[in-house]
C-alpha cells in the first residue's frame, strides 16, 4: 500500500514538472529587439529569425506605435475582451493606433471555460470591428483555476459555442492560442483542430510538438521581450508557414 502511494505521488510530481516546463525554460531570459541584423540570438546554440510580431494588452500601458512600427514589427495581436463582462481598457487605442501605422492587427478574447461560450463570443464581436486586412479572430485558451472545477462536457461545449458563434458572424474559424501541455491534457483528445490555425505558446528554443494539433502557424516564444516604444516586457511572436492573406479577412 505504501509503495502504491509513493508511486502515485511521484507520478503527479513528474506530471507537474512537465506541464510547467514551457513556462520555466528560459522564462527569465530577456530578449531585446535588434534592428541591426536579420537574426536575434536566442540562446548560445541557436539563432532564430528576427521577431515579426508582438501581442499586447493594457498591461503594456501607453504604447508608442510609431516607434514600434519603425522596428519592423509586422503584426500585433491585441486583447479585446475576457469572459462576458471584461473589455480591455486599452483595446480601442491599440486597435486604431496599430492600424494608423500600418501594422497588421488582430484581436483576441481570453476564454473562460466555465462561462457560456456564445455569450463570450457576442461580447468579443461587439468590442471588435474587423476590417479587410485584419488578422482573423483569436480565442486564448489557457489554464485558469476554474477549469479544474468545471465538467469536461461544459468547457468543451462552451468552446464549441464560442467557435460556432464567431464563425457564424465572421465566416472565419478563430485561431486557437494555447500551450501544448495544457491543450493535450484538457482539450486535445476531445476537440478536433484539423480546420483550425494554431498559435502556440512555448518559451523554449523551438516549438513543442502536440499529439493533437498540427504545427503552429504563430509561435509566442517569449513573455519577456524588450522593444523600444513599450515600457516593460512584451510577448514576442513569430509567424511562419503561410502568407498573411491566408490568416486575414
Q: Is 196 exposed, middle or buried (0-12, 13-18, 19+ CB in 10 A)?
A: middle
DSSP β-ladder status, 53-56 and 234-239: antiparallel
Active site residue 55: yes
From 122, 118, 109, 121, select the one nearest 57 (Cα to Cα).
109
Whether the Cβ atoms of residue 47 and residue 41 lie closer than 8 Å to each other: yes
Query: Among 55, 82, 134, 200, which one carries the catalytic annotation?
Result: 55
Determine the Cα angle at 39 with ends 34 and 44, to 5°: 100
Considering 34, 52, 116, 142, which one is annotated as catalytic? 142
Grid cell 461545449 is found at 157
Contact indicator for 120, 88 with CB cutoff of 8 Å: no
CB 80 within 8 A of CB 127: yes
| Residue 239 region by backbone torsions, left for phi larger than 0, else alpha for psi between -120 and 50, else beta | beta
44 given a catalytic annotation: no
Q: What angle do CA 42, 43, 49 make, to 5 degrees?
A: 30
Residues with catalytic function: 55, 142
Amino acid at each position: 500500500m505504501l509503495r502504491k502511494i509513493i508511486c502515485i505521488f511521484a507520478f503527479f510530481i513528474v506530471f507537474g514538472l512537465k506541464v510547467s516546463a514551457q513556462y520555466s525554460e528560459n522564462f527569465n531570459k530577456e530578449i531585446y529587439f535588434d534592428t541591426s541584423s536579420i537574426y536575434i540570438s536566442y540562446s548560445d546554440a541557436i539563432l532564430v529569425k528576427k521577431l515579426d510580431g508582438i501581442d499586447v494588452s493594457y498591461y503594456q500601458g501607453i504604447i508608442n506605435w510609431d516607434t514600434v512600427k519603425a522596428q519592423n514589427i509586422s503584426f500585433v495581436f491585441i486583447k479585446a475582451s475576457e469572459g462576458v463582462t471584461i473589455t480591455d481598457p486599452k483595446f480601442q487605442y491599440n486597435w486604431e493606433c496599430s492600424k494608423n501605422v500600418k501594422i497588421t492587427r488582430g484581436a483576441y478574447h481570453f476564454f473562460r471555460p466555465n462561462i457560456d461560450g456564445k455569450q463570450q463570443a457576442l461580447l468579443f464581436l461587439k468590442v471588435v470591428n474587423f476590417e479587410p486586412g485584419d488578422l482573423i479572430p483569436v480565442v486564448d485558451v489557457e489554464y485558469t483555476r476554474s477549469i479544474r472545477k468545471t465538467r469536461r462536457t461544459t468547457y468543451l461545449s462552451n468552446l464549441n459555442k464560442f467557435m460556432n458563434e464567431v464563425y457564424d458572424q465572421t465566416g472565419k474559424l478563430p485561431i486557437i492560442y494555447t500551450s501544448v501541455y495544457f491543450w493535450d491534457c484538457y482539450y486535445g483528445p476531445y476537440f478536433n483542430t484539423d480546420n483550425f490555425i494554431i498559435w502556440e505558446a512555448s518559451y523554449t528554443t523551438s516549438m513543442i510538438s502536440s499529439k493533437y494539433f498540427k504545427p503552429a502557424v504563430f509561435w509566442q516564444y517569449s513573455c519577456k521581450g524588450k522593444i523600444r516604444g513599450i515600457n516593460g516586457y512584451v510577448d514576442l511572436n513569430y509567424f511562419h508557414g503561410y502568407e498573411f492573406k491566408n490568416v486575414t479577412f
